[in-house]
């Protein structure tokens, strides 16, 4: 099994393939998202976290998924427009993927292998979040009901550990 996320790549909403190597050295929060879910308002909290901490080496990667109640029916253009217009999302968003089953994106196969949840390896619902340290190693998995604000303290700890502030 690979030791970190950097060996994976994914397609952006614009269809460009991006290697997760591009996020080396950053603290990463990977989230499976949906536009028509009860948890969809978490986009606002995620964007707040991103804006607040991106300059310290933090990034959020959003992965739309339609596997839970058909709550992400749109195509890439519709998803991008929805996220931007409704929540002002500026963090990277990727093309719609599966997160469970034999067609699950390899990144999510890796994440659930490293961090099984209460249902074993399966992802239970939209807005499951995986916190990855600056070395690309997944450390913590959060369920849908965990708000972005609740995760902030863990993000700050990782940012401080990866970018220590030196005294004067």
Distance CA 108, CA 77 (A): 23
Rounded-to-integer distance, Cα 17 and Cα 167, Å = 40
Q: Which residues are catalytic?
A: 37
**Largest Cα–Cα distance of the chain, in whole Å?**
54
Spatial strand order in the sheet of 138-142 = 58-64, 27-33, 129-132, 138-142
Buried b (16+ CB within 10 A) or exposed e, 145-161: ebbbeebbeebbebbee
Dist. CA 51–CA 59, nearest whole Å: 9
Query: What sections of the chain are H helices per DSSP?
Result: 42-53, 76-87, 106-114, 148-162
């Amino acid at each position: 099994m690979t030791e970190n996320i950097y060996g994976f790549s994914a397609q952006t909403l614009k269809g460009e393939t991006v290697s997760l190597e591009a996020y080396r050295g950053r603290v990463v929060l990977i989230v499976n998202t949906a536009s028509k879910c009860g948890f969809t308002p978490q986009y606002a909290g995620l964007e707040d976290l991103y804006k607040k901490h991106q300059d310290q080496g933090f990034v959020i990667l959003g992965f739309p998924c339609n596997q839970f109640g058909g709550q992400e029916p749109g195509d890439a253009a519709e998803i991008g427009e929805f996220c931007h217009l409704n929540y002002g999302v500026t963090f990277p968003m990727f093309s719609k993927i599966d997160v469970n089953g034999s067609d699950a994106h390899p990144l999510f196969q890796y994440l659930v292998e490293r961090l099984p949840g209460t249902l074993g390896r399966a992802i239970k619902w939209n807005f499951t979040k995986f916190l990855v340290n600056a070395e690309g190693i997944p450390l913590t998995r959060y369920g849908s009901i965990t708000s972005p604000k609740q995760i902030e303290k863990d993000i700050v700890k990782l940012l401080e550990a990866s970018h220590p502030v030196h005294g004067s």
